Amino acid sequence: MFRAVLTSRLQAAFTAAGIELPAGFTPNVVIASDTRYGDYQSNAAMVLAKQLKANPRALAQQIVDKLDVTDLCEKTSIDGPGFLNFTLSAAALAQRLAVIVSDDKVGVPAVAQPKTIVVDFSAPNIAKPMHVGHIRSTFIGDSLARVARFIGHKVITDNHVGDWGTQFGMIIHGWKTQLDQAKLKADPIHELVSVYKAVNAATKADESVLETCKAELVKLQQGDAENLGIWKECVRLTLEQLEKVYSTLDIKFDHYLGESFYNDALAPLVAEMLTQGIATISEGATVVFSDGSVKPENDPFLIKEKDEWKAAPCIIRKGDGGFLYATTDLATIDYRVKEWKADEIWYVVGAPQQLHFRQVFAAAQRRGVTTKMTHIAFGSILGPDGKMFKTRSGETVGLLEVIDEAIERARAAADEKEQGFTTEEKDEIARIIGSGAVKYAELSQNRLTDYKFSWDKMLSLQGNTAPYLLNAYVRTRSIFRKLDGAVTLTADLAITEPAERALAMKLAQFAENAHDILDDHRPNLLANYLYELADTYHSFYEACHVLRAEGTARNTRLTLCEATSRVLKTGLGLLGIQTTERM
Ligand code: ARG
């Protein structure tokens, strides 16, 4: 907020000083890293002086002479080679504080141009083991969708479930020959996955099993009633169980348009791409080749082999008539553009699918799609030993297992402390802390780097963890509980102590932070901000008496507590983490 206002004031000052700004130049204002000189800083004069071959300090002076920021700043200075430094006034900070405690968006402004954004995330595959990639996708996607919606975009979340594919040949064969109905009832996803694994292993040992599976798949694709029935049941059972997990996690989707939803669109799409000349038949398959419009380095349809560029086409129909993952994705794009008028589509999918998306986006663009499509990639989760993350029994870990175990561990911790909670209260607190801890461990990481999964670290009350942040929130609430409703905050605010000022400053920065997250789709910026806020709050709490203060000081400090409480709750909410009043 302050940053945006200071930026526009600077722009106005440039104009008033008769300095013409080069095209595309916006004065850059950042939060000062060294607060001795001010709260915000700009290098605009220095950057511009270089371009105009002028003296940076003299140019800075020209701007300052025309700068009108008296309503915001108590001091503006030119420091070093020509930095502009701004120190906010106590009155401006108090004004922000008043907004934070009264506005339902805690003072975060809405975007100037709201867009329709489709967020494609989670997207597990039916009857195939969920992998850790789905954990990351689920949490990152949910958080980004929440942030985008919060700042005013129209967001459509779509779970593009892998509900159609070659795995169903094996599943149907397994269903008919070795399904355990009791186990299916108890834990459908687990039973379907183990049937899939058993049949998969059998196909490797016995060629004829593979043939049977292929025949089952063909029957399914041709609409055989029995096989379609089994397929539908698999999808239904899986989605039912998934929805329970999503509800535990407080995650909702606007749509569940899985791959099968696009089945009928695939043949016409391929035919159209052939007539458009975008696709060609090659060795019996229908493929998209490079059109030579970009440099080979940037061309997703080329691959370098032994210093030579070779064709790496995107296959959209196999020689046997089967369609592929890419074909479905192209049909999905058409649907999202036509039906939902998407301005942007975000794909929150692991880094290994980078080539797939580069090819699909390029092919869609050749079809005339102008919607902005972004692959929001992420790295892997590693076990504590730095190798592939495994469960206690040595299986690869899926979303369900992780969440269950986190909640179980949080519940055990809650049982240790005797705080007079009822069983239901303990269950709810354990759910919030357990799922919050896993989410935060994920979202506080740079999404592109691999990270090590550590139960002890993520559930610890100390350090950069969800329990630490939740605890800070609980502390803010306990103050108001002590007052038992006997307090009305007023506009009588005076920020005088350094610890009060530091906290007010941190709180004001939330408005900027919420927007910055989407620049490069990084929820970790928000997580880290909240951690700093909690820290700043603890320092304030140690330095300033709240309940023992009187008059304006008391009202100001209570307002700071209330603002911290609201920003923590809102910020954690944007990470998909719920809060609890007590823990
Ligand atoms: N089901 C896919 C997988 O598990 C992810 C789908 C991502 N979304 C998409 N539109 N391709 O790898």
Domain residues of the chain, as ranges? 2-88, 167-248, 399-574
Residue 172 and residue 230 in contact, taking contact as beta carbons nearer than 8 Å: yes
Q: Contacts by 101-106 with C-beta closer than 8 Å and gap 24+?
A: 101/489, 101/559, 101/562, 101/563, 101/566, 105/150, 105/570, 106/510, 106/511, 106/563, 106/566, 106/567, 106/570
Q: Above 90 in pLDDT, residue 156?
A: yes
Contacts of 349 (CB under 8 A, 6+ apart): 120, 121, 123, 133, 137, 357, 375, 376, 377
Residue 375 and residue 357 in contact, taking contact as beta carbons nearer than 8 Å: yes
- Of 436, 445, 452, the closest CA to residue 403 belongs to 436
Q: Which helix (H) or strand (E) holds 427?
A: helix 423-443
- The class (CATH top level) of 2-88 is alpha beta
Quick one: pLDDT at residue 433? Answer: 95
Average pLDDT over residues 528-541: 97
CA–CA separation, 506 vs 515, rounded Å?
15
Contacts of 427 (CB under 8 A, 6+ apart): 411
Cα 206-211-213 angle, rounded to 5 deg: 100
Query: What length does the chain have?
Result: 583
Instruction: Give the ligand 1 atom nearest the CA of 161.
Output: 1
Task: Supply the residue whose CA is at minimum distance from atom 6 of ligand 1.
Answer: 123
Quick one: pLDDT at residue 100? Answer: 97
Is the CB of 123 inside a 6 Å radius of any atom of ligand 1?
A: yes
pLDDT per position as a tens digit, 287-336: 999 999 999 999 999 999 999 999 999 999 999 899 999 999 999 999 99
Burial class (CB in 10 A: 0-12, 13-18, 19+), 57: middle
Quick one: pLDDT at residue 138? Answer: 95
The DSSP output letter for 563 is H
Residue 384 — very low, low, confident or very high, per pLDDT cuts 50/70/90? confident
Instruction: Give the ligand 1 atom nearest the CA of 120.
Output: 8
Q: Above 70 in pLDDT, residue 391?
A: no
- Of 133, 140, 221, 4, the closest CA to residue 445 belongs to 140
CA–CA separation, 242 vs 337, rounded Å?
27
Q: Above 80 in pLDDT, residue 389?
A: no
CA–CA separation, 456 vs 406, rounded Å?
10
Q: Above 90 in pLDDT, residue 13?
A: yes
Answering whether pTM is above 0.85, one says: yes
CA–CA separation, 13 vs 452, rounded Å?
49
Distance (Å) of CA 532 to CA 303, 420, 510, 545:
45, 31, 11, 21
Note the CATH architecture for domain 399-574: Orthogonal Bundle (1.10)
Is the CB of 147 inside a 6 Å radius of any atom of ligand 1?
A: no
Residue 464 and residue 539 in contact, taking contact as beta carbons nearer than 8 Å: no
Quick one: pLDDT at residue 419? Answer: 78
pLDDT per position as a tens digit, 205-247: 999 999 999 999 999 989 999 999 999 999 999 999 889 889 9
Q: At what angle do helices 56-66 and 2-16 cross, to 10 degrees?
A: 100
Q: What is the CA radius of gyration of the chain?
A: 28
Residue 23 — very low, low, confident or very high, per pLDDT cuts 50/70/90? confident
Quick one: pLDDT at residue 284? Answer: 95
- The mean predicted confidence, pLDDT, of the chain is 93
Does residue 135 or residue 72 have the better pLDDT? 72
**DSSP-derived 3-state class of residue 193:** helix
Quick one: pLDDT at residue 343? Answer: 98
CA–CA separation, 359 vs 361, rounded Å?
6
Tokens at residue 182, please?
């009791």
**DSSP-derived 3-state class of residue 151:** coil
Quick one: pLDDT at residue 446? Answer: 95
**DSSP-derived 3-state class of residue 79:** strand
Quick one: pLDDT at residue 393? Answer: 63
Task: Supply the residue whose CA is at minimum distance from atom 5 of ligand 1.
Answer: 123
Residue 28 and residue 40 in contact, taking contact as beta carbons nearer than 8 Å: no
Quick one: pLDDT at residue 305? Answer: 94
Tokens at residue 583, please?
């823990």
Ramachandran category for residue 85: left, alpha or beta (phi over 0 → left; psi -120 to 50 → alpha): beta
Is the CB of 329 inside a 6 Å radius of any atom of ligand 1?
A: yes
Is the CB of 120 inside a 6 Å radius of any atom of ligand 1?
A: yes
Average pLDDT over residues 461-488: 91
> How many whole angstroms from 522 Cα to the centroid of ligand 1?
20
Is the CB of 160 inside a 6 Å radius of any atom of ligand 1?
A: yes
Q: Above 90 in pLDDT, residue 538?
A: yes
Residue 551 and residue 441 in contact, taking contact as beta carbons nearer than 8 Å: no
Average pLDDT over residues 415-430: 88
> How many whole angstroms from 129 Cα to the centroid of ligand 1?
13
Distance between start and end Cα atoms, the chain:
33
Task: Supply the residue whose CA is at minimum distance from atom 11 of ligand 1.
Answer: 329
> How many whole angstroms from 162 Cα to the centroid of ligand 1?
7
Residue 257 — very low, low, confident or very high, per pLDDT cuts 50/70/90? very high
Tokens at residue 10, please?
């600077």
Residue type for 449, please? T
CA–CA separation, 501 vs 496, rounded Å?
7
**DSSP-derived 3-state class of residue 377:** coil
